Structure 1
Amino acid sequence: MDNTPGGEQPLLTWSNVALALSFVAFDAVLSSAYRLGISSSLISAALRCIIQLSVMALVLEKIFKTQDPLGVAGLALLLNLLGTVEIVVNKCKRRHKYIFFSSFIAMLCATAPVSIIGTRFAMSIIPFWTPEQFIPIVGMLSGNSISAIVVSIDYVLKEFVENRDKIEVHLAFGGSRLEACRPVAKQALRLALTPMISQMSVIGMISIPGTMTGSILGGAPVAQAARLQMVLMFLISSVVVLSSIVATGSALMIVIDQDHRIRMDRIDSSKFILWKYKERLFEKLGEFGSSVLDRVRDPLHKRGQIRLGEQ
């Protein structure tokens, strides 16, 4: 790591990244030693982190040079789309029929207005689509909304699968789907919003958040870094609340139709189709590897028997 003149932030090389990655590798070794079953997840997540950030750096570098508003809008839309894919493919244990569309709308309806109004008025950035500020803000907003959407959807679908009778009682006694779903919606939103509320309540006193730390490392005044963190935290909290409400409401309206009937056929508790093909692929590879080993072992075994017979 080379120190740049003028007290600027030091330049980082791939050797610095490799050194930081060694800590994750050490954690993976400990996981394997104690048989925690998370070593592969740690390594795969770290590799995904390297690949995704490297690609994002190349894309951002081009957009920063061109200063094209259409490119900024396209990348912001892509971030929301990738966040939706992460929700549907990797995060949600259960999915409803229109989960991709509803999750994408939930993220877009929250991140688009908050990011535009927040950057223009709360952060006084003119124009608001300035790539260096707007794209990182959209990334933070969409990234923080993913976990909240996943928690809310998972809880809603879990209640319909495991506690369907409670909801059916409300509907059987003439209650509307709004009345029957209100307790489920309240608890789903509480679970989804609790981490964000807890983070906002302890920020600054117990933990120094990443944005403030990055601003200080970049040479910004501490007071300015603190105010920037406040603005971003309030923007994030608003996006988390809005996206969770939209996702929860959409899930409830899909699972209970307009005739106030519970549609269990719209809930899918199986693994995502890509992971099914992945498991089948690994099974085929395992079978192929076993057959190859058997073909190698059989001649060796026969040769060993012949030599023992000759002796």
Structure 2
Amino acid sequence: MTIDISWSALGLFCLVLLIPVFINWRFNLALGKDIGISLVRMLLQLALLGVYLQFLFELNSLWINLLWLTVMLLVGASAIIGKAKLPRKALFFPVLSGLILGLSPLLVILLLALLKPTPAYSAQYLIPLAGMLLGNSLSGNIVALQRLFSALNEKTTEYQGYLALGASRQQATQGFVQSAMQQAFAPVLASMSTVGLVTLPGMMTGQILAGRDPMVAVKYQLVILIAIFVMLSISIATTLSLSIRVAIGQTGLVKFGINKTNASTA
């Protein structure tokens, strides 16, 4: 049995937000505006999402579900590029392609082969699964893109040296790509290695609080963690491979990197 939370109790709990507000003031972090905007957006977006998901679950239309999934992918790709402070127009296709190639096969496997909801496109399963996979892929892709283009910016001479020695574009950028991928995978690998000992994942916690058997919750959490790692691997590999093609022309020159100019155009 799930214990409901009254709106009044939720409002009182929100008073704990005064703690980070005080910390921001005490340490002069100048994050007041960002904190305020983030909290207001979180409140409005979650409230609208709750209302919309109720409608979505009742309607359960294949085309509306796919439309919502498309919106999630577009917003996710835009958020990755914006946070990485890179040119949106140039890298939107590589990032979106990485998310689509990472998400699509996993959703097919989860919905058609593993969970088998009826119908297979059930919004109750499709939307939350897509949201968890996409949400956990954002930070990894941001880190990967930032590390790749920062390295290319800072070590342009090294990259040009490889080209001068006869290396292909792929060979000259291989070390940069490897380093970016290693750093992007580090957080998720650390999370996987400490799950159950240091951390209790959100999905598992939610199911336990909802009264589900802990072993059932464990099975679902294992599926989600494996799917997240696989999607992250596919999306980052695809995004970096396509981004290299976009960022480095036939001349071998790096067209852009992470700097103030690109931040303003992102």
Q: With structure 1 as the length reference, what TM-score do the two structures score?
A: 0.80
Query: How do 1:215-234 residues align onto structure 2 when only pairs under 5 Å count?
Result: 215-234=207-226
- Tell me, yes or no, if the aligned pair for 1:102 and 1:250 is still in contact at 8 Å: yes
Deviation digits for residues 67-107 of structure 1, max 9, x if unmatched?
Answer: 11111111111111111121223x11333752112111111
CA distance in 1, matches of 2:145, 2:202: 28
1:138 and 1:183, CA in 2 relative to 1: closer, same or farther beyond 3 A?
A: same
Could you tell me which runs of 5 or more consecutive residues in structure 1 were left unpaired when the two chains were aligned.
1-7, 275-311
- Tell me, yes or no, if the aligned pair for 1:119 and 1:125 is still in contact at 8 Å: yes
Instruction: Name the structure 2 match of 1:40.
Output: 33
1:186 aligns with one of 178, 181, 186: 178
Q: With structure 2 as the length reference, what TM-score do the two structures score?
A: 0.92
Q: Give the letter for the 1:133 counterpart.
A: Y
**Higher mean C-alpha deviation, range 141-150 or range 36-45:** 36-45
Query: How do 1:265-284 residues align onto structure 2 when only pairs under 5 Å count?
Result: 269-270=260-261, 271-273=263-265
2:152 aligns with one of 160, 164, 175: 160
Query: How do 1:1-311 residues align onto structure 2 when only pairs under 5 Å count?
Result: 8-89=1-82, 91-95=83-87, 98-257=90-249, 259-264=250-255, 269-270=260-261, 271-273=263-265
Q: Give the letter for the 2:39 counterpart.
A: A
CA distance in 1, matches of 2:33, 2:18: 10
Deviation digits for residues 252-308 of structure 1, max 9, x if unmatched?
Answer: 111222x3511325877423458xxxxxxxxxxxxxxxxxxxxxxxxxxxxxxxxxx
SS of the aligned residue for 1:264 comes to coil
CA distance in 2, matches of 1:122, 1:173: 50
1:273 and 1:13, CA in 2 relative to 1: closer, same or farther beyond 3 A?
A: farther
- Tell me, yes or no, if the aligned pair for 2:2 and 2:209 is still in contact at 8 Å: yes
Kindly state the Cα deviation for residue 190 of structure 1 after the two structures are TM-superposed. Answer: 0.5
1:273 and 1:256, CA in 2 relative to 1: closer, same or farther beyond 3 A?
A: closer
CA distance in 2, matches of 1:103, 1:268: 19
Kindly state the Cα deviation for residue 209 of structure 1 after the two structures are TM-superposed. Answer: 0.6
Deviation digits for residues 140-167 of structure 1, max 9, x if unmatched?
Answer: 1111111111111111111122111110
1:225 and 1:206, CA in 2 relative to 1: closer, same or farther beyond 3 A?
A: same
Q: How many residues align?
A: 265
Q: Give the letter for the 1:221 counterpart.
A: D
SS of the aligned residue for 1:261 comes to coil
Instruction: Name the structure 2 match of 1:295.
Output: none
**Higher mean C-alpha deviation, range 178-187 or range 45-54:** 45-54
1:26 and 1:58, CA in 2 relative to 1: closer, same or farther beyond 3 A?
A: same
CA distance in 2, matches of 1:124, 1:206: 32
- Tell me, yes or no, if the aligned pair for 1:97 and 1:254 is still in contact at 8 Å: no
1:202 and 1:169, CA in 2 relative to 1: closer, same or farther beyond 3 A?
A: same
- Tell me, yes or no, if the aligned pair for 2:144 and 2:183 is still in contact at 8 Å: yes
More relative contact order in 1 or in 2 (CA 8 Å, sep 6+)?
Answer: 2
User: C-alpha root-mean-square deviation of aligned residues, in Å?
Assistant: 1.9
CA distance in 2, matches of 1:254, 1:78: 24
**Higher mean C-alpha deviation, range 162-171 or range 54-63:** 54-63
1:165 and 1:131, CA in 2 relative to 1: closer, same or farther beyond 3 A?
A: same
Larger Rg computed on CA atoms: 1
